Structure 1
Amino acid sequence: MSTSAATSTSTSTKNCLRLDDFIAGWIGGAASVVVGHPLDTVKTRLQAGKGYNSMFHCVLTIYRKETVTGFFKGMSFPLASIAVYNSMVFGFFNNTQRLISKYRYGDGRHPCGMLDLTLASMLTGLVSVGLGAPVDLVKIRLQMQTQTVLAENLHLAANTSTGANIPLRSVEMAGQRLYRGPIHCISSILQTEGVPGLYRGAGAMLLRDVPGYVLYFIPYTIVCDLLSPDGKTNSHPFSIWLAGGLAGSISWVTATPADVVKSRMQADGQLHRKYKGVLHCIIHSYRTEGLQVFFRGASVNAIRGFPMSATMFLTYELSLKFFRSF
């Protein structure tokens, strides 16, 4: 296990978090956001938006209507908050491993077994929702602003001179913005929905992240160990890059169904709330669009998961190695 990012941290720190963990987490996380955000925007549009026939059609539509900048909508907030988020994720994961090792083996530096790693990963996924849910919510609300607002979501009607109500088929809101930026988005949500509004979709995020982090850290550790059969404590950069990329693809593809539900719930409620909860979102999506809806964006997740996670782990490990060389 010594080749995993978390374990390399745990063997070099004893009883406290080090500042270099936070710095390396920020650098790695920021790099992964820049690499993965364009495809993340495509993924969100496919999962929560309407009118796209395929991933390629979605990419072309965004580019034609919004140019290249359309792929980077909503990036400022996750980029700014990624320092805290990744520091919390990796810091909590590392400390949890040390606590488990200390409790089970009497030494916090003892390498964790697979069961220990699984438990630490699940707890990390559980805790990460506390910060990750608001970050994802704001990101998705900003990413979805250019979408056509459907009348079934708004429950609008046009009044005729006779007084009869005629349902509108759709309302095109192109060019208009509900939010001027991430800060305005947060304040608007707090004013209209309160603090619970920032955690809309958190239940679906738990379903995604608890198993998702297990399928993130464990494959990374296994692949790194397989690529370092001689027992070296430090993996080759290529091994880290490959292991991180494979772990990201595996984690994101398997998490796609829960990710679809999360994206829909978080995109919902900009003007009118459509879903009452996670179960209602699942049932409604299945009844209206079939089982295939839960795999919408899976190909994007597989593609973006590799470079995003490969960049995250490689940058994190190299940054940590650089800081600890002094």
Structure 2
Amino acid sequence: MAVNNFHLNDFMAGWIGGASSVVVGHPLDTVKTRLQAGKGYQNMTHCMLSIYRKETVAGFFKGMSFPVATIAAYNSLVFGFFSNAQRFISKYRYGDGRHACSKLDLTVASMLTGLVSVGVGAPVDLVKIRLQMQTQTPLLTENFQLAGGVSGESNMVMRVAHSSSQTLYRGPVHCISSILQAEGLQGLYRGGGAMVLRDVPGYVLYFLPYTVFCDLLRPDAASNPHPCAIWLAGGLAGSISWVTATPSDVVKSRMQADAGPHRKYRSVANCILHSYKTEGVQVFFRGASVNAIRGFPMSATMFLAYELSLQFLGSF
């Protein structure tokens, strides 16, 4: 492939869009994680009230520093790879990297993006979820007891969980260090298989609807979509993608929140079967409403910031 088909602006614009989307979406992301992997929450409203009463507003921003620092880089990879993949596919199929991609081309580029994104996204999600779940004392002790922890070890966990700080990790760096020491590098990729199941189809249902909605909302084929159209198309695409990805997202969240020396879940299949047997099929749709609500403003902000940044960078 020709080198001039590779554009760095897409990576830079993706970084800006990613940082913007984290600020908008993180509070509801915390609610989503607690609903999917925590215990004792009846619904989204009850979860939000519980977090606020026990942890105040700061509870909604648990683990945010790490996503702000890393999701920007993650989205830089996602949008940069996706846009350049489209150009490479067009160059290969049509001889011109600027040729418009077909729906099949977009599907292939989206699937490849989802696969590549797991390499960076799995550790980022793992650390974020571990930090978000720190105050979930009942979950940590229940995981230990269900896994058959011995009395002395269980008492130790209870003492740690009920300490004044009620935290296992002092921050993102300490979290990563603890995971590496206890589980090695593979520990950072726990839940990676579930993330592949989520992101490969998830990105197809992210980029494809966005492109379709943008085409429908633009005044004519030759003009660029209006910022309002970009915002609406991005929001709708985000809601569609996140709602359909909820079942695999539940499995991923549960596996990544499954901390401690003894695991409840041995594999993705084991997590699915265990969750189904103990809580029924409805467990796989926990957080769907949060995903639908959260997906709109987060993705709308992501796409709008990305497109506007791309236009700005292209003006130089």
What's the TM-score once normalised by structure 1's chain length? Answer: 0.90
Q: Which residue of 1 aligns with 2:93?
A: 104
Does 2:121 correspond to 1:116? Answer: no
Q: State the Cα distance separating 1:270 from its structure 2 match.
A: 3.5
Contact 2:144 2:260 in 1 (8 A): no
Contact 1:248 1:305 in 2 (8 A): yes
Does 2:193 correspond to 1:199? Answer: no
Q: State the Cα distance separating 1:149 from its structure 2 match.
A: 3.6
SS in 1 for 2:5: coil
Q: Which residue of 1 aligns with 2:174?
A: 184
SS in 2 for 1:248: helix
Whole-angstrom distance in 2 between the partners of 1:58 and 1:184: 27
Q: State the Cα distance separating 1:271 from its structure 2 match.
A: 4.7
Whole-angstrom distance in 2 between the partners of 1:149 and 1:157: 17
Matches within 5 A, 1:244-259: 244-259=234-249
Q: Which residue of 1 aligns with 2:120?
A: 131
Q: Which residue of 2 aligns with 1:314?
A: 304
Q: Structure 1 unaligned runs (5+)?
A: 1-12, 160-166
Task: Name the amino acid aligned to 2:62.
Answer: K
Whole-angstrom distance in 1 between the partners of 2:110 and 2:222: 23
Does 2:211 correspond to 1:225? Answer: no
Task: Name the amino acid aligned to 2:296.
Answer: F
Whole-angstrom distance in 2 between the partners of 1:28 and 1:93: 14
Task: Name the amino acid aligned to 1:72.
Answer: F
Matches within 5 A, 1:166-177: 171=158, 173-174=161-162, 175-177=165-167
What does the per-residue CA deviation read over 1:205-226, in whole Å, with 9 as the maximum and x for residues that have no partner? 0000000000000000000000
Task: Name the amino acid aligned to 2:123.
Answer: P
Does 2:78 correspond to 1:89? Answer: yes
Matches within 5 A, 1:39-118: 39-118=28-107
SS in 2 for 1:243: helix
Contact 2:39 2:138 in 1 (8 A): no
Whole-angstrom distance in 1 between the partners of 2:174 and 2:29: 22
What does the per-residue CA deviation read over 1:183-204, in whole Å, with 9 as the maximum and x for residues that have no partner? 0000100000000000000000
SS in 2 for 1:111: coil
What's the TM-score once normalised by structure 2's chain length? Answer: 0.92
Q: Which residue of 2 aligns with 1:147?
A: 136
Whole-angstrom distance in 2 between the partners of 1:259 and 1:77: 20
Whole-angstrom distance in 2 between the partners of 1:250 and 1:208: 13
What does the per-residue CA deviation read over 1:242-300, in whole Å, with 9 as the maximum and x for residues that have no partner? 00000000000000000000000000024531100000000000000000000000000
Larger deviation: 180-189 or 79-88?
79-88
Q: Which residue of 1 aligns with 2:231?
A: 241
Q: State the Cα distance separating 1:229 from its structure 2 match.
A: 4.2
Task: Name the amino acid aligned to 1:223.
Answer: F
Whole-angstrom distance in 2 between the partners of 1:135 and 1:295: 23
Larger deviation: 172-181 or 278-287?
172-181
Larger deviation: 221-230 or 280-289?
221-230
Contact 1:149 1:171 in 2 (8 A): no
What does the per-residue CA deviation read over 1:48-82, in whole Å, with 9 as the maximum and x for residues that have no partner? 00000110000000001000010001111111012
Q: Which residue of 2 aligns with 1:8?
A: none
Contact 2:18 2:73 in 1 (8 A): no
**Large movers: runs of 4+ above 6 Å:** none
Contact 1:204 1:258 in 2 (8 A): yes
Contact 1:42 1:58 in 2 (8 A): yes
2:313 equivalent among 308, 320, 323: 323
Change (3 A) 1:271 1:68: farther
Q: Structure 2 unaligned runs (5+)?
A: none
Q: State the Cα distance separating 1:87 from its structure 2 match.
A: 1.4
Q: Percent identity?
A: 76
